[in-house]
Chains A and B, each alone.
Chain A
Amino acid sequence: MPEQEYNLQGADPMLPRFLRVRRAVVETHDTITLELDDSNAAPQFAPGQFNMLYLFGAGEVAISISGPPDDRQTLVHTIRGVGAVTGPILQLRRGAILGVRGPYGSAWPLHEVSNGGRDLLLMAGGIGLAPLRPVIYEVLRRRREFGNLTILYGARTPADLLYRGELAQWRMFPGVSVKLIVDRAAGVWSGRIGVITDLLRTVQFDPAETIAMICGPEVMMRFAYHELVRRGLAAERIYMSMERNMKCAVGWCGHCQLSPFFICKDGPVFRADRIQPLLATREL
């Protein structure tokens, strides 16, 4: 889906719906996946979009949607508990209530990949795998429309890897490759140790037939972008998901402004040639 303007007429975009936690999956020591019961009038979302989650007494926070786009009954978010809102969210369990506004923002351009059956290269770092998971669900559901799917995923330690069961399942699909790397390990890990650009050196891809999508800490995305370009991929074929302090989520308040862009409505997904020059600008 191309970057889009939101139709703000109709329902009040600041008014949350209240959904009940159907299931809470503890992913790691600081990360949880909440499945919210959204069986009534769930608005459809596109992979890459986010919701504003509101916790009573704590506040509101922007969280990417991490579940299957074709599941209209369940809204899934994976949340890392690091702040005043996400910390308490980490404690929520089945039956708890969360306010939800959204979905908001631009989406990963899946149509560009499926158009012509191109290959897709995903590079995720840390919690950055969550906004890419709906892409993986869609590609696997519509497998014949896409070429090869390569998933490169980096985390701080083996214990910080998300969706471990699914990672093992995904690599069983034909034409799907999953490679993992961690920054550091201690003893029992027999996988790769290093940084995500190391993983890129282990894969072959055709720059003319590949679209890359990157999601993770901004500095990780910068290094990944430079390595992809060095390997011959044009900036126009690279997309990245940005994160800033989003408040209203509809482009009113300006909290998430990055030079000419509002990350909440112009992003979070940007084509790299539009956003990359801004990333190394210290003043922004």
Chain B
Amino acid sequence: MENLARLLKDHPFLAGMEQVHLEFLAGCAANARYAADEFLFKEGQESDASYLIRTGRVALEVSIPGRGLAQLQTVETGEVLGWSWLYPPYRWQFDARALEPVRAFRLDGNCLRAKCETDHDLGYELVKRFLYQVHVRLERTRIQLLDVYRADT
């Protein structure tokens, strides 16, 4: 676990986090590997983890009747994927599919929730980091919505 805490420290999402919190998080973390085309999770399933991507690229996808598969965004090396475990009803809203071989730290959502409830300093630190990710992702989505490359813009 000490080794895992050392590895977690190097992920950009956890950069600068206190050692005591890293060791706490290591208790909720596991190494995970996914082959290209393998799903990390699917829409509607219970959301029970966050994925800190160490290498590789994952696409967030949704299937639209009559239109087929739509790829919404990609998440890759150094980024974090998934925070639906933070809020009820704890369900994934999209599919996440590995576009290439992916290595990640899988942080168990139930474990994280329990630890955040007992250690509010850790909870605040984590929520702050997730909120920044939400901020970045929201900004990205807004720019995508502008559809700036459309012919009449």
Q: Does B151 contact A (CB under 8 A)?
A: yes
Selected contact of B59 from candidates A82, A193, A202, A223, CB within 8 Å: A193
The segment from A10-18, A58-66, A181-189 that touches chain B is: A181-189
Top 4 A-B residue pairs of the complex, sorted by shortest distance between their CB atoms: A156-B149, A126-B149, A217-B148, A185-B71
Q: Is B114 engaged at the interface, CB distance under 8 Å to the other chain? A: no
**Can you give 7 A-B contacts (C-beta < 8 A)?**
A125-B149, A156-B150, A160-B149, A190-B57, A192-B76, A217-B153, A219-B148
Among A126, A186, A223, the residue within 8 A (CB) of B143 is A223
CB distance from B25 to the nearest CB of A (A): 23
Distance between A82 CB and nearest chain B CB, rounded to angstroms? 5
Interface size counted on chain A using CB atoms at 8 A: 29
Digitize A148-192: 1 where CB-to-B-CB distance is under 8 Å, 0 elsewhere: 000000111000100000000000000000000001111101111
Contact string against B for A residues 69-92, beta-carbon threshold 8 Å, 1 for contact and 0 otherwise: 000000000001010000000000
Q: Contact string, B54-73, partner A, CB cutoff 8 A, digits 1/0?
A: 00010100000001111111
Taking the closest CB of chain B, its distance from the CB of A140, in whole angstroms, is: 26
Q: A197, B140: Cβ atoms under 8 Å?
A: yes
Could you tell me if B140 and A198 are in contact, using CB atoms closer than 8 angstroms?
A: yes
**Range class of the B interface residue count:** 20 to 34
Minimum distance in angstroms from B139 CB to a CB of chain A? 8
**A30 CB-CB contact with B under 8 Å:** yes
**Is B110 part of the binding interface, using a Cβ–Cβ cutoff of 8 Å?**
no
Task: Tell me the A residues contacting B by CB distance below 8 Å.
Answer: 30, 80, 82, 125-126, 154-156, 160, 183-187, 189-195, 197-198, 202, 216-217, 219-220, 223
B152 at interface, CB cutoff 8 A:
yes
- Given contacts A190-B99, A217-B149, whether A197 and B143 have CB atoms under 8 Å apart is yes
Residue ID in chain B nearest A160 by CB atoms? B149
Give the complex CA separation of A191 and B147 in angstroms. 19
Chain B residues with Cβ below 8 Å from A217 are 148-149, 153
The answer on a CB contact under 8 Å between A194 and B140 is: yes
Decide yes or no whether B20 CB sits under 8 A from chain A: no
Chain B positions near chain A (C-beta within 8 angstroms): 57, 59, 67-74, 76, 99-100, 139-140, 143-144, 146-153
Please tell me if the beta carbons of B143 and A195 are within 8 angstroms of each other in the complex.
yes
Q: Are A190 and B144 in contact (CB under 8 A)?
A: no
**Contact residues in B for A195 (Cβ distance below 8 Å):** 140, 143-144
Residues of B within 8 A of A184 (CB): 70-72, 144
Partner of A82, one of B67, B74, B100, B152: B152
Q: Which of B57, B70, B151 has the most CB of A within 10 A?
A: B151
Task: Give Cα A30–Cα B151 distance, bound, in whole angstroms.
Answer: 9
Question: Given contacts A195-B140, A217-B153, could you give 13 more A-B pairs where the C-beta distance is less than 8 Å?
Answer: A125-B149, A185-B71, A186-B67, A187-B68, A187-B71, A190-B99, A194-B140, A195-B143, A197-B140, A197-B143, A219-B153, A220-B143, A223-B143
Instruction: Give the Cβ gap from B149 to chain A, nearest Cβ, in Å.
Output: 4
Docked complex Cα distance between A14 and B147 (Å): 36
Contact in complex: A154, B149 (CB < 8 Å)? yes
* B-chain residues with CB within 8 Å of residue A155 when the two chains form the complex: 149
Answer whether A190 and B100 are a contact pair too, CB < 8 Å, given A156-B147, A184-B70, A195-B144. yes
- Chain A CB within 10 Å — which of B74, B146, B149 has the most? B149
- A136–B140 Cα distance when bound, in Å, is 28
Residue of A nearest to B144 (CB): A183
Query: Which one of A154, A186, A192, A202 lies within 8 Å of B70 (CB-CB)?
Result: A186
A190 to B148, CA, bound (A): 22
| A216 touches which of B70, B144, B147, B148 (Cβ 8 Å) | B148
In the assembled complex, the Cα of A220 lies from the Cα of B149 at a distance in Å of 9
B73 touching A80, Cβ below 8 Å: no
Please name all residues of chain B whose beta carbon is closer than 8 Å to the beta carbon of A192 when the two chains form the complex. Answer: 57, 74, 76
A194 B73 Cβ-Cβ under 8 A: yes
